[in-house]
Structure formats: C-alpha cells, structure tokens
Amino acid sequence: MLSIDQLQVELDAESGIVRAIDGLALAIQRGETFALVGESGCGKSMTALALMRLLPDSGAVTGGDITLDGDDLLAMPESAMRAVRGGRIGMIFQEPGTSLNPVLTVGQQMRETIETHTALRGDAARAKAIDWLRRVGIPEPERRFDDYPFRMSGGQKQRVMIAMTLAAEPDYLVADEPTTALDVTIQKQILDLLRDLQREQGMGLLLITHDLAVVAGMAQHVALMYAGQIIEVAPAAQFFATPRHPYAQALLRALPDSQRRGQPLAAIAGTVPPLTQAFSGCRFVPRCGFAQAVCHSQQPELLGAAGDQVRCLLLQAGGPGLVATTAAAGVAAPPAAATAARPAATGAPLLQVVGLSVSFQLRKGFLQKQPPRFDAVKGVSFQVAAGQTLALVGESGCGKTTTGKAIVQLLRGQALIEGQALLEGQNLFDLDGAALREARRTVQIIFQDPFASLNPRMRVAEILDEGLAALQPDTTPGDRRQRIEAIAEQVGLRRDALQRWPHEFSGGQRQRIAIARALAVNPRLIVCDEPTSALDVSVQAQILNLLRELQRELGVSYLFITHNIAVVEYIADQVAVMRAGRIVEQGACADVLEQPVDDYTRTLLAAVPRL
C-alpha cells in the first residue's frame, strides 16, 4: 500500500511559518480509489506534492512518514526518487498549462516519459504515445503528436497530461483535479479508462477533486480535509448518505442543480483560516452553525474505527450532538430579495452574434501553393438579452472559448474573423482605438486558466488596480483601493491576500482573483469561460450567488462557457450546444436539458455524473 502517517508540512512565507499539513494520515491499497476532497487552500494539492517530494523551495516535511510498499520515500536519495516518480507513482497535475513544457512538442514530452520509465525506445515509444493520445480522446493523434501545447485547448492539454502519466503504467496514481478542464463526455471516457486500468493492473488511485459527483461514482473511501487536517473519513456511500461533520453537511447543501434554481445556494460563510496561527480550538468553529463553548477552547481528535472517523467534539462520546445555534446552521445565504425571479427578456438583445466564423492560418507545406486554414468556428449565431444568461456548452475544442475570445476582441491579428458581434447594435469588430477601449468597460472576460491570465510579477492589489486605472481613469487611487477591497471580500478573498503574489495561491483562489478583476469595472456583459471549473463546491456556491446577485442588481448579462451541466441547470436562461465549431441546438434551458432534440445533446447529457 501507499501510506502517509502523521505527515507535517511547513512553508516559510512572508507572513510567517505556514503549517500547510498538520498530522495527516491515510492509506491507499492497490486497486482502490481514495478520494481527498475539501475547500481550496485546505492542503489537498500540498499533500500530493509532499507525497511526490515536489514541495516548493520554501516547503519542507517536518514530521511523519510516507511509505510505498514498505519503502520509506522520505529517506530515499533523489536519484532513487526519480525512478519512483512516474514509474511507481504517477501524478496528474492540477494545471496542465503550466505542467507541459512550452518549447517541446507533445510527442517529445511523452516519449521522454515512456523511455525513462519503460523499456520502449524510438518508434515503439512513439507508437505507444500515439496509442495513449488516442485512448484519452485526442483527435488525429498522429498529427497532434508533433504539436506544441499552445496549439491545444485547456481540455486537450489536460488529456495530454493524463496520457503522459498513464503511458508509464504506474502502480499508484495521484490525480490532482484530473477532470477539471474536461467536458462531460471526455470526463466519462477518462474515468472509464481509469477504472479499466485499476481492474487490469490493480492501480491504486488518490483522487483529489472538488467534483463530488465524480467522487460518488469512483471512490471507495472519502477523506474530507479542512485547514491542513482530515476532519472526516468514511466509505463513499456512507459519506454521501449520512455525512456527519458540519462541514460535510454544508458542502452537500451547496451543490447547484435544477431544483435549487431561483434560490440562493447554501454557501458556507467565511474562508479557510490562515495556517500561520496557533489554533486553540476547532479550526472550523468560526464558520460552524453548531459550535458550542467547548469548540473554542479544545482541539478535536480524529476518532473512530479505521476508515470511518470524524474530528468533531460534539459527535464524540459524551458530546451533545449537532444542535444548530443559528437558523441557517452555518450557511450564509444572500438576502431574500435574491430569490426573486428574474424578469423575462424584453426588447432588443444586449449582444447579438450573427454568422460568426473564426479561422486560423496553418503552416504552409513545401508543395502547397496556399497555406491551409483551420475553421474553429463556423457560422455561429445567438443572442444574449440584458440581465440574462446564455450557457455555451460542448466538448473541449469545439470552439466555445474561441467564440468568447473573438467577441471580446482578443483574436485580432491572430485569426480571420467574419460575421458580426453587435453590442446594443454596435458591431464590436468595427471598433478601434478609443471606441474599443470604451467598449472594454462594457464587456469583460473571465479566462479559463487563472494562472496564465495573472501577471506573476504583480501583487493581487496591483492586478485589480490595473484594470480600474486603465478603464476608469477618472477614479482616485483611494476610490480604487476601496473598490478593490470590497470586490475581494465579495469573491471570498481575505484582505491580507491583496498583498500576495499569484503563485502563493491555490488554483481555486487564483480563479477568485480572476473573477474579481473582471467584476471590478462593473461591466454589462461578462464572457465567463469556465469560471467555476477550478473552484471547490463551497466557493462555487459563493461565486454563483454573487453572479446571480450582480445580475439581479445591475442587470449584467453572462455568456457562460462551461461543461458543468449542474451549473447550467442552476444559472442559465438559454442554452446553446456547440459541436465542431457549429451550434447544433439552442433554446430555453429547461427545454434543451429536459427534452433534447439533437443526438449529440442527448449523448452529452447522458455522460453527466450525478450524485
């Protein structure tokens, strides 16, 4: 088995010593799927990095043991550890965009992995790499083998990472958000592939994810993590049927679906506490609606039988049990007015896209007279009404993100764009100079990859201030600072986070920064490109509540690009389904999702994981 016992990890940060992992213990058997879930910033990814001995320079394991089939990984020299990484333990990293080498082709990177950890060389290694690209759903794998990562969408890069890791056939796999950037059909294909590998090779899987529906379908055991500690461990079926810890109960109440449409989600108030402090009581107590006096002064232990434990003073022997001390039991909901139904679309649409086509020039071959073109978007038409949400769904690489980038004028000089994008009757493709800058105050975008879209040399406050200073130059520095602090609080960022750098945050926290940057200038239309894909359940509920509240108060419209059908059910008024650059079906959300007409839409909905 792969075993972690009483692991302690500390990071040396500017704010002090961060105790990122405090006494963590778990064990993964061969052939078992063990899911590690919890809020962004609670230590899930740090656990994976510590297991692989890939902690940042400022981090160190200060206590505990990590053993692999009896071998002490922490005592191994680095030369021996290189054979373990990839060969015995594979890892799929959270952000494929930063995990792939941008100056090497996909094929070169895959061959390096295969030749390092298997006996295959040359053409045999190439054939195996192409086979794995095919197995994870990369179209035209022979051609994409020689492509660079920047030519692929976020979902395709994630599939390349998965193929590269699985090609070495490891005994254990650490998968850090492996399906976050994938649409539901490819996600189903990848999860089925992982199940097959476990059945054939007995591969153990540590699945780190915030998608509880995926956990329900994959895992045998679930461990819930909070503020560097595991607070509940249970068999998966028991965890979802009868969650015991107040945090687990709150997470399940925060899930979006069609039944909660028109109502605020049960978002958990507050954020994960800073781990630089010394805790005197339960770490969840500031956000818990069941907290008693003893919870503030005594630290709970993780008690119970192996594989079925909980860390809560109220649930231990002699405890009073869970008795809510607030009406909402620790759940923060927006004001009652937020539940009011949104008005139906009337009058002219805010955005009308007519016959949009986007083509990219490919490299010309030696004997070709004309360079070939790749048609990413082909004659797409739709409209977004003021104060309404249009969800654009479809498989990775179908043209969703390209459509969004074309609308906000981010593909000028890179692609041939035809058609119209009319914002209140004004064609965005005809604007230039001052008129284009004026339009950018009205139209903003939340990018899919938060790390790639944030300047690594700027602090968070500077990133948020940059957009305000550029698009609202009449505001004073003091007004901008107040606006920045207010919007940071709205998206769940602590004030001290404003003086930190992007690399100091988890993936979900960086997504909150990207959302805050788009919201800061009060736009009328926001192109949301997978805005909640990197967020855990509780923060996703906060963001969806925030987007709904802004829509209700300000009348802002959303072009919501996503593969999360549960989010579409909750937030969208209209749905457009894309396939291979074309829209194959569109209409009212309930009509498309409950009575789909197109076969592709039916396939898409059938692949959606459900609790």
pLDDT tens by residue, 459-506: 999 999 998 888 888 889 999 999 999 888 877 788 888 999 998 887
Residue 462: φ, ψ to 5°: -70, -35
Indicate whether 231 belongs to any domain.
no
- The reply to whether 521 and 584 lie within a common domain is yes
pLDDT band at 199 (very low <50, low <70, confident <90, very high): confident
- The reply to whether 211 and 253 lie within a common domain is no
The enclosing H or E element of 360 equals strand 351-361
Of 219, 236, 256, the last residue of a domain is 219
Reported as a single tens digit per residue, the pLDDT across 94-127 is 777 778 999 999 999 999 999 999 899 999 999 9
Neighbours of 508 (CB within 10 A): 27
Name the least confident of 380-384, 416-420, 502-506: 502-506
170 vs 263, higher pLDDT: 170
Instruction: Write out the residue range of the structural domain in which residue 518 sits.
Output: 351-606
Residue 504 token pair: 């100091």
Indicate whether 565 belongs to any domain.
yes
Reported as a single tens digit per residue, the pLDDT across 572-594 is 999 999 999 999 999 999 999 99
Indicate whether 431 belongs to any domain.
yes
Neighbours of 126 (CB within 10 A): 17
pLDDT for the residue 342: 52
Residue 374: φ, ψ to 5°: -110, 120
Q: Which residues contact 540 (CB under 8 A, 6 or more apart)?
A: 210, 254, 256, 532, 567
Burial (CB < 10 A; 0-12, 13-18, 19+), residue 395, is buried
Residue with tokens 């490919």: 362
Q: How far apart are CA 95 and CA 422, in angstroms?
A: 34
Of 395, 404, 403, 355, the C-alpha closest to 579 is: 395
Indicate whether 346 belongs to any domain.
no
Indicate whether 235 belongs to any domain.
no
CATH number at residue 422: 3.40.50.300
Reported as a single tens digit per residue, the pLDDT across 515-530 is 889 888 888 999 999 8
pLDDT for the residue 412: 87
**Pairs from 147-153 (Cβ < 8 Å, separation ≥ 24):** 147/105, 147/106, 148/102, 148/103, 148/104, 148/105, 148/106, 149/96, 149/97, 149/100, 149/101, 149/102, 149/106, 150/102, 152/106, 152/397, 153/396, 153/397, 153/401
| Secondary structure of residue 137 in the 3-state scheme | coil
Residue 358 token pair: 């986007």
Q: Does the pLDDT at position 326 exceed 50? A: no
Q: Residue 364 has what DSSP assignment?
A: P
pLDDT band at 238 (very low <50, low <70, confident <90, very high): very high
pLDDT for the residue 330: 41
- The reply to whether 127 and 13 lie within a common domain is yes
Q: Which residues contact 434 (CB under 8 A, 6 or more apart)?
A: none
- The reply to whether 381 and 316 lie within a common domain is no
Count of structural domains, the chain? 3
Q: How far apart are CA 497 and CA 294, in angstroms?
A: 30
Alpha-helix runs per DSSP H in 430-506: 433-442, 450-453, 460-471, 477-490
- The reply to whether 180 and 255 lie within a common domain is no
pLDDT band at 129 (very low <50, low <70, confident <90, very high): very high
Q: How far apart are CA 304 and CA 319, in angstroms?
A: 14
- The reply to whether 335 and 357 lie within a common domain is no
Sheet holding 303-305, edge to edge: 89-92, 172-176, 204-208, 33-38, 221-226, 229-235, 308-310, 303-305
- The reply to whether 204 and 290 lie within a common domain is no
- The reply to whether 388 and 333 lie within a common domain is no
Q: How far apart are CA 145 and CA 151, in angstroms?
A: 11
- The reply to whether 545 and 444 lie within a common domain is yes
pLDDT band at 272 (very low <50, low <70, confident <90, very high): confident
Strand partners, 422: 352, 427
Kindly state the greatest CA–CA separation across the chain. 83
Of 532, 508, 38, the C-alpha closest to 248 is: 38
Q: How far apart are CA 267 and CA 539, in angstroms?
A: 7
Indicate whether 233 belongs to any domain.
no
- The reply to whether 499 and 563 lie within a common domain is yes
Alpha carbons within 13 angstroms on the beta-carbon side of residue 401 total 18
- The reply to whether 61 and 206 lie within a common domain is yes
Indicate whether 385 belongs to any domain.
yes
Of 178, 210, 211, 212, the C-alpha closest to 195 is: 178
pLDDT band at 397 (very low <50, low <70, confident <90, very high): confident
CA dihedral 395, 400, 401, 407 (to 10 degrees): 180
Rank 321-330, 353-362, 369-378, 526-535 by mean pLDDT and report only the highest: 353-362
Strand ranges, E, within 271-334: 303-305, 308-310, 331-332
Indicate whether 467 belongs to any domain.
yes
Q: Quote the mean pLDDT of the chain.
A: 87
- The reply to whether 315 and 375 lie within a common domain is no
Work out whether strand 574-579 and strand 389-394 pair parallel, antiparallel, or are unpaired. parallel
**Pairs from 256-262 (Cβ < 8 Å, separation ≥ 24):** 256/540, 256/541, 256/544, 256/566, 256/567, 256/569, 256/570, 256/571, 257/566, 257/569, 257/570, 258/569, 258/570, 258/590, 258/593, 260/570, 261/569, 261/570, 262/339, 262/341
Q: How far apart are CA 298 and CA 546, in angstroms?
A: 35
